Amino acid sequence: MMSDWHADEALLARYAADELDDARAYSVEAHLMACPTCRNVLAPMADTSRIDAMWAEVADRVDAPSVGVVERGLLRLGVKGYAARLLAATPSLRLSWLAAEALVLGFAVLAANSASGRPEADAVTLIFLMTAAFLPVVGIAVAFGPGVDPVYEIGVSAPMRSYRLLLLRATAVLATSLCFTFVASLALPRLDWTAAAWLLPSLGLSLGTMALATYVRPLHAAIAVGFAWILITVAAAFAPSDPLAVFRVGGQVASLLIVTVSTWVLAHRRGTFEEEIFV
Amino acid sequence: MSTPQNRREDPSLLASVADGDRGALRTLYERHAPWLTLRLKRRCADPGIVEEVVQDTFVAVWKGARRYRGQGEVAAWIWGIGIRRLIDRLRARPLPIPSALDRGGIVISAEEEVLLSVEHGDLGMALDRLSPELRAVMQATALDGLTTREAAKLLGIPQGTVKTRLMRARHELREALA
């Protein structure tokens, strides 16, 4: 609702200086809401230098990168701001990565289900277990290190130990992978011991990779561990008696041993890791 | 004021802001930050809080420009955001009424003719005779467009008290103007 009437400049000046009595001040305020002309006349009467300075702050906040879904979730869980940002920047915690992981597991489960009851069932189960155990290793490989981590250089120069960042990210990747695989194994045709047989080997491979990653780049560590793992399982698969031998008692005990040794190495290497940071 | 941006209407600027145009936000800020700052200063004695609220408001405009439905004055929409941000900021420590809101008052009609008659008329005097508490409540509800619940938060008093004070203020004004 516009009218031809406008507040005179003196009245607006007194309003800006906070010199008006209530009734007049409210007349002015009600009029201002409807009158762009009077708002324009009033504008230079405010503290313009402060208004300009405040814009800088507004611009800063407008330009600030928006916080992603993962980071917001972590913050809500009580994770500290810097840790949440560093975790959310993990390549292998991105949505695309998680989707890929789900897809791989989905295909493995699908294959296991379609082969159920046929002679090749054991071989397909082996492929599922092999994949399930190895998935977190791939995640850890690209979770930290030059070339794969877009914020690697920033992370190295951040006032946070790279060792801690490696552990933080690797643990997060391992945890999400284990959750995915757990859900996938519930969809297996037989819910017997094979549905859980991947757990210890998976932990062994992951911790082994992390321990090795304190010596070489995580990517190289993962490639070495991966080759060894595929070699062992494939060799075992061609053993005439039992293709799943790797996942039976002997394999589980060996996995436990690797978990123990790797944990010891990780704890022991804590101090020396920082100096050998790879650039 | 030479660029065409400065001559565009508020709703069209707001539409550009919704599409991520920072220049449009800047123009809206230049137009609306001054009066918003002045008006908020009359409701909050702490200039630091006022500045934060103005900044919050324009960040909210940036993020929520889509929520403007194209009805009514953009200024009134911005005021609605600003005064609610102020309430949010004050929630932790409401201001005592006499220090910040002793200039509270009333507008009983949006008609500008009526408002103009306020200056030397009966309404002005009637307003002056209201106690500061009653004026603060009238201001928050009638002029600032707050609900009784929001007014209660702003003034730091229970919602029931806002309602009874509002009734008493209306009654007193009616008596005075009769």
Q: What is the pLDDT of residues A90-106, one digit of tens each?
A: 777 777 888 888 888 88
CB contact under 8 A, B51 and A24: no
Angle of helix A81-88 relative to helix A69-76, nearest 10 degrees? 150
Average pLDDT of chain A to the nearest whole number? 82
| Cβ(B14)–Cβ(B28) below 8 Å | yes
Residue B7: which residues within 8 A CB-CB, separation 6 or more? Answer: B1
DSSP A215: T
CA distance A63 to chain B (A): 9
CB contact under 8 A, A36 and B116: no
CA distance B13 to chain A (A): 14
| Residue that the structure tokens 């810097």 belong to | A82
Mean pLDDT (whole number) for B12-27: 90
pLDDT digits (tens, 9 = 90+) for A110-128: 888 887 777 777 778 888 8
| Cβ(B65)–Cβ(B18) below 8 Å | yes
Mean pLDDT (whole number) for B120-128: 72
Higher pLDDT, B98 or A77: A77
Q: Is the dihedral of CA A66, A69, A70, A72 positive or negative?
A: positive
CB contact under 8 A, B135 and A22: yes
**What residue of B is the nearest CA neighbor of A32?**
B35
Mean pLDDT (whole number) for A248-276: 82
CA A58-A39-B126 angle, to 5 degrees, is 115
Alpha-carbon dihedral of residues A141, A142, A144, A145, nearest 10 degrees? 90
Q: How many beta-carbon pairs below 8 A join chains A and B?
A: 116
Task: Using an 8 Å CB-CB cutoff, list chain B residues near A26.
Answer: 105-107, 115, 118, 139, 143
| Cβ(A170)–Cβ(A87) below 8 Å | no
CB contact under 8 A, A27 and B116: yes
Separation between Cα atoms, residue A170 and residue A149, nearest integer Å: 13
The residue length of chain A stands at 279
Q: How many CB atoms lie within 10 A of CB B52?
A: 16
CB contact under 8 A, B123 and A23: yes
**What residue of A is the nearest CA neighbor of B127?**
A23
Task: Using an 8 Å CB-CB cutoff, list chain A residues near B124.
Answer: 21, 23-24
Chain B touched by A19 (CB under 8 Å): no
Separation between Cα atoms, residue A84 and residue B164, nearest integer Å: 48
Task: Using an 8 Å CB-CB cutoff, list chain A residues near B26.
Answer: 55, 59
pLDDT digits (tens, 9 = 90+) for A161-210: 777 777 888 888 888 888 888 888 888 877 777 778 888 889 999 999 98
Mean pLDDT (whole number) for A50-77: 84
**What residue of A is the nearest CA neighbor of B80?**
A33
pLDDT of residue A228: 92
pLDDT of residue B92: 60
Q: Where are the alpha helices (DSSP H) in chain A?
A: 9-16, 22-34, 36-42, 48-63, 69-76, 81-88, 95-114, 121-141, 152-157, 162-186, 199-213, 218-237, 249-268, 270-273
Residue B178: which residues within 8 A CB-CB, separation 6 or more? Answer: none
pLDDT of residue A268: 85
pLDDT of residue A274: 58
DSSP B139: I
Q: How many CB atoms lie within 10 A of CB B168?
A: 15
Task: Using an 8 Å CB-CB cutoff, list chain A residues near B139.
Answer: 22, 26
pLDDT digits (tens, 9 = 90+) for B22-48: 899 999 999 999 999 999 998 888 889
